């Protein structure tokens, strides 16, 4: 039986974003920061956010993770730029699934939600 790899499961744009994630790095002068860790798989995502007038001005993420946590972090950081904090607090699992745009297996949803958990933790 042939072993599947991520190239067989995910669309090409997801694989490209995993290889070259946008919004990856660190921010100087961030006023919100948090790290979340998935003890099951070892993924770790740190987010740094700059907020002004209760609105996200800029954000970046760093850390290491699987294709799901990395790609969702990249997409989610892009999505929250310009959003108000109160609107970010309403984001949930369904928003993440829609944002990712490809099927997320129920056993892997924790990986996909890790960036959202880090963002919400930072903004508390």
Q: Go through the domains of the chain in sequence order and give each one's CATH number.
A: 6-122 (3.90.1010.10)
pLDDT digits (tens, 9 = 90+) for 95-121: 999 999 888 888 889 999 999 999 999
| pLDDT tens by residue, 82-97 | 999 999 999 999 999 9
Q: What is the model's pTM?
A: 0.90
SS (H, E, C) the chain: CCCCCHHHHCCHHHHHHHHCCCCECCCCCCCEEEEEECCCCCCEEEEEEEEECCEEEEEEEEEECCHHHHHHHHHHHHHHCCCEHHHHCCCCHHHHHHHHCCCCCHHHHHHHHHHHHHHHHHCC
């Amino acid at each position: 039986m042939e072993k599947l790899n991520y190239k067989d499961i995910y669309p090409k744009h997801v694989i490209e974003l995993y290889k070259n994630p946008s919004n990856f790095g660190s921010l100087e002068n961030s006023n919100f920061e948090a790290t979340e860790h998935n003890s099951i798989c070892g993924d770790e995502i740190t987010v740094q956010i700059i907020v002004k007038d209760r609105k996200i001005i800029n954000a970046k993420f760093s850390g290491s993770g699987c294709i799901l946590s990395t790609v969702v972090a990249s997409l989610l950081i892009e999505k929250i730029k310009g959003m108000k904090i109160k609107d970010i607090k309403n984001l949930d699992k369904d928003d993440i699934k829609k944002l990712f745009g490809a099927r997320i297996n129920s056993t892997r949803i924790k990986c996909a939600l890790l960036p959202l958990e880090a963002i919400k933790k930072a903004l508390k």
